[in-house]
Homo-oligomer: A and B are copies of this chain.
Amino acid sequence: MAFIVHNTHTVSDELLEELKLVSVSTASHSLVEMGYRNQYMQGVMPLSFPEDQQSAVGRAVTLRFIPLREDLVKQQYTELTESPHRTALESIKQNDVLVIDTGSHMETGVIGDIFTRRLRYLGGQAIVVDGCIRDLQRVKQVNFPVLAKGVHGGAIPRSLMSVGFNEPIRCGGVSVIPGDIILVDRDGAVAIPPQCVEEIVKSARAHDELEERWIKMKLDEGASLHTHYPPNAEARIEFEQWKKENGYA
């Protein structure tokens, strides 16, 4: 049956670029405040992440695996030129993020270094797996953001088969809809409805300048949470003053 839910907004590459400056924690909390309670993916952690990269951002392409059924795997390989997960991988475009639903299956790995390498070549920005990857050692050598729940030595044919491409899926207890904006960093991953990206970027920018510089400076001078986090009226005047004096406003 045709998919019932779908995203209606799109996000420009420029906005994606700006989103890279927002942390997963900041975005997750902003989304809760905007009324999206459940967008941080629980338990999906960066197992491979380039040292020199702060975050990665892209548009969700989804892939769904279900437990292998012996006759249907044969059917797939007879009827199709390619297995659907290979088709999914080959469809990756610049600024896509591949998100994989295995039903939290921890008994085999679905992504290894070859798939990761191909995805990187095609312009993919990250891989996020609600399950296991395999060959972590070699995956790390590809130097690309790969997030998952764990590691398993087995490969797909041990116990899974792919059945859905660009459907709405589940990952880390969160719905991921094709076209969702996926932001990942060392704290994990968050699925952002496309229409929310602009507000998140804007509020993070406003907030971050305040927080990252002045509040921390004041805390290091002994300011109290009660007066300075968030700043009360008096502190806010102090802050405005400081901004003027330092040429920020």
Contact = CB atoms under 8 A, between A and B. Distances in A.
A237 interface: no
B114 A166 contact: no
Interface residues of A, number: 94
Contact of A157 (B32, B36, B215, B225): B32
Interface in A35-84: 35-38, 40, 42-43, 45, 66-72, 75-76, 80-82, 84
A117 interface: yes
B4 A158 contact: no
Contact of A151 (B75, B90, B188, B195): B188
A72 B5 contact: yes
Interface string A113-129: 01101100100000000
Number of copies: 6
A193 B71 contact: yes
B25 A38 contact: no
15 contacts: A3-B163, A4-B80, A32-B154, A38-B159, A43-B106, A69-B175, A71-B193, A72-B175, A90-B226, A103-B103, A114-B216, A117-B216, A121-B222, A151-B187, A153-B188
A25 B175 contact: no
A204 to B, nearest CB: 12
Contacts of A107: 42
Contacts of A195: 71
Interface stretch (A12-20, A133-141, A241-249): A133-141
A110 interface: no
A90 B56 CA distance: 36
Given A43-B150, A72-B175, 9 more contacts: A4-B80, A4-B164, A25-B138, A28-B155, A29-B155, A37-B158, A72-B177, A86-B225, A121-B222
B173 A67 contact: yes
A86 B4 CA distance: 13
A224 B115 CA distance: 10
Most buried by B among A104, A107, A164: A164
B5 A161 contact: yes
Nearest to A165: B1
